[in-house]
Amino acid sequence: MKTKLTCITLAAFAVPALTGCLSGKAERPALEPQSSVAIFDSFEYSGNDSIYNANPLPDESSFYNPVLAGWYSDPSICTNGEGDYFIVTSTFTFFPGVPIFHSRDLVNWKQIGHVLSRPSQLRNMEKQHVSGGIFAPAISYNPANKTYYMITTNVGDGNFFVKTQDPFGEWSDPIMLPEVLGIDPAFFFDEDGKGYIVNNDDAPDGKPEYPGHRTVRVVEFDPATDKCVGERKIVINKGCRPEEKPIWCEGPHIYKENGKYYLMTAEGGTSTWHSEVIYRGDTPFGPYTPYKGNPILTQRTLDAGRKDPVTCAGHADLVKTPEGEWWGVFLGVRPVANDRENLGRETFMMPVKWTEDGWPYFMTEGETVPLVVSRPGVTRGEETTFGNYTRTDEFNDSTLGMEWMTLRGPATGYYSLTENPGYLTIKCAEVKSAEKAELPYVCRRINHHDFNASTNLTFVPETESQSAGILLLKDETHQYYLARTKKGDSHLIELRKVTDGGSASVASKELDPSLSSVDLKVKGKGLEYSFFYSTDAGKTWEPVAEGVDAGFTSTAEAGGFTGTVVGLYASGAE
């Protein structure tokens, strides 16, 4: 058994790897197996992407894109005007919902919690697809009442918002907005104290002229009553060049600068034709005139064979610093080959420039998203959300760390950190990983193309239906499961592949039934996964299967809006 795991810094890494290190366990005897539960002693995740090793950061004010590496999609950013910045991203059906990150300098980000941290805030998640649930959260600050708002869509429940005056603490229960139809709502609070909600909706009268024909609509919002006021009005129909039949004008935001209102939206869908466009008007309701230089952000015209590409750039949000600088966040994808990857849509950030005639833009068409960005005068800290690092969890706390998630609910009926203190204990519940249900599964994002994820497992299956181990999950029908299993009198370390046809064995190795503890490891390298086990506390690793197709769990093959997650799972029904 692993008695102690410590946080490891790899000398070749460009960014120090100290974040997430928890105190190690004291030396102690091996834990005895317990009936129908899996006991995980630890979990270690390490990433070592060659792009960071080949491009060390040039100075202490520099940072890597993506600034939030791994599946952190649909970013939104706000400031209170006093030097505090906050970013939120989508979580779909994962719990808790909507991670919130804080920074004082736009370079050093730290997760401070989740906006949707209670089941009462995440309703009707059962039976939703992994990529259902919470879409495109938008965070805003209203200086008139010193209140933060997060507004979003739960595709199983409708549009709603929550609010707080302390973003480091708890947020309210959902306040529903039944009159705001469609998706992707965002608040704008004007200098006179009035509020507005802007969002994506159906074509006029629900009669699209072509697939992807959508509108952007605005309605006034009263912060005193938390209700909408007056008529919702269409301010954008189709997109910035209607004659070209643009698709999916979505993720809208309104800003104000020098007395003018700016409406920014994504266009082109969230795949490789994604882009961002900008409009300008004299009121929040327009009329809005599109910028002739649109799009202000896209990577769609670049050579698909270029080195280290960033694709799908769009779904952006802007923020202004007290010093008058403008910065923006947006999502992008880093494919390995043929649009395949397992990281999902990640959060990128870069400075925003302005034209002489008053239009903001990220880049001109043909420019590439930069790998390295600098904010002069800022000192990068050791705890980073980007670059290479190793993070270890010994499960010594009574609650899970902020990087951990469950599916469709808190799963506290399935796992415990107090039943065996210092361990994560998961019940072999009568539920399969392919079900649209709350699962006995605790997972985290994959943040690197090249990564290792390992754990120590104490578990002896009592029946052929019981299993426990490491589960790589993209959705209900795209999974790899490295597990300890039982077949007849034989005990196995087995790799299973879960597809729409069910679960099938890919490879297996026999295990001595007298061994109750085993170490498991998944190694990802680009578009390949390899799976290993160890019976000598990680001194030597035996392969179960190597060079397995990782493209199977990519968005390009599986679809959906998330990235692949890796975590610890047990079942009595597999």
Q: What is the pLDDT of residue 2?
A: 37
Q: What is the pLDDT of residue 27?
A: 53
Q: What is the pLDDT of residue 20?
A: 38
Please indicate, yes or no, if residue 7 is contained in any of the structural domains.
no
Looking at the fold, whether 203 and 127 belong to one and the same domain comes out as: yes
Q: What is the pLDDT of residue 14?
A: 37
Please indicate, yes or no, if residue 519 is contained in any of the structural domains.
yes
| Residue 243: pLDDT band with limits 50, 70, 90 | very high
State which of 324, 345, 374 marks the end of a domain: 374
Looking at the fold, whether 183 and 325 belong to one and the same domain comes out as: yes
Return the closest-CA partner of residue 93 out of 556, 572, 473.
473
- Partners of 332 in beta bridges: 346
Looking at the fold, whether 157 and 304 belong to one and the same domain comes out as: yes
pLDDT at 354 over 90: yes
Tens digit of each residue's pLDDT (9 = 90 or more) over 69-92: 999 999 999 999 999 999 999 999
Region 150-168: mean pLDDT is 97
Tens digit of each residue's pLDDT (9 = 90 or more) over 418-465: 999 999 999 999 999 999 999 999 999 999 999 999 999 999 999 999
Tens digit of each residue's pLDDT (9 = 90 or more) over 472-489: 999 999 999 999 999 999
Please indicate, yes or no, if residue 27 is contained in any of the structural domains.
no
Burial zone of 540 (CB within 10 Å; 0-12 exposed, 13-18 middle, 19+ buried): exposed
Question: What does the angle CA 155 – CA 159 – CA 162 come to, to the nearest 5 degrees?
Answer: 120
State which of 341, 374, 407 marks the end of a domain: 374
State whether residue 395 is helix, strand or coil.
coil
pLDDT at 416 over 90: yes
State which of 329, 349, 374 marks the end of a domain: 374
4-8, 263-267, 543-547: range with lowest mean pLDDT: 4-8
User: How many structural domains comprise the chain?
Assistant: 2
pLDDT at 4 over 80: no
Please indicate, yes or no, if residue 10 is contained in any of the structural domains.
no
- How far is the C-alpha of 70 from the C-alpha of 448, rounded, in Å? 7
Looking at the fold, whether 348 and 405 belong to one and the same domain comes out as: no
- How far is the C-alpha of 336 from the C-alpha of 247, rounded, in Å? 27
CA 444 to chain CA centroid, nearest Å: 10
Region 515-527: mean pLDDT is 97
Looking at the fold, whether 315 and 446 belong to one and the same domain comes out as: no
DSSP tag of 131: T
Looking at the fold, whether 404 and 335 belong to one and the same domain comes out as: no
Looking at the fold, whether 477 and 393 belong to one and the same domain comes out as: yes
Please indicate, yes or no, if residue 1 is contained in any of the structural domains.
no
Considering all CA atoms of the chain, what is the largest pairwise distance in Å, rounded to the nearest integer? Answer: 77
pLDDT at 8 over 50: no
- How far is the C-alpha of 561 from the C-alpha of 74, rounded, in Å? 10
What does the block give as tokens for 117?
A: 């941290």
- How far is the C-alpha of 133 from the C-alpha of 174, rounded, in Å? 14
Element (H, E) at 556: helix 555-558
- How far is the C-alpha of 7 from the C-alpha of 17, rounded, in Å? 8
Looking at the fold, whether 346 and 236 belong to one and the same domain comes out as: yes
| Residue 206: pLDDT band with limits 50, 70, 90 | very high
pLDDT at 10 over 80: no
Q: Which amino acid, one-letter code, is at 180?
A: V
DSSP tag of 416: E
The 3-class SS string of 247-270 reads: CCCEEEEEEEECCEEEEEEEECCC
The catalytic residues are 74, 244
Q: What is the pLDDT of residue 241?
A: 97
Please indicate, yes or no, if residue 382 is contained in any of the structural domains.
no
Tens digit of each residue's pLDDT (9 = 90 or more) over 296-341: 999 999 998 999 999 999 999 999 999 999 999 999 999 999 999 9
State whether residue 119 is helix, strand or coil.
helix
Q: What is the pLDDT of residue 144?
A: 96
Q: The whole model's pTM is what?
A: 0.94
CATH of the domain at 521: 2.60.120.200
- How far is the C-alpha of 65 from the C-alpha of 54, rounded, in Å? 14
Looking at the fold, whether 341 and 399 belong to one and the same domain comes out as: no
Please give the residue range of the domain that contains residue 540.
Answer: 37-49+388-571
Looking at the fold, whether 349 and 486 belong to one and the same domain comes out as: no
CATH of the domain at 113: 2.115.10.20
Q: What is the pLDDT of residue 31?
A: 84
- Partners of 167 in beta bridges: none
Please indicate, yes or no, if residue 424 is contained in any of the structural domains.
yes
Please indicate, yes or no, if residue 527 is contained in any of the structural domains.
yes
Looking at the fold, whether 155 and 184 belong to one and the same domain comes out as: yes
Looking at the fold, whether 363 and 394 belong to one and the same domain comes out as: no
Return the closest-CA partner of residue 41 out of 429, 411, 440, 425.
425
- How far is the C-alpha of 527 from the C-alpha of 507, rounded, in Å? 19
| Residue 365: pLDDT band with limits 50, 70, 90 | confident
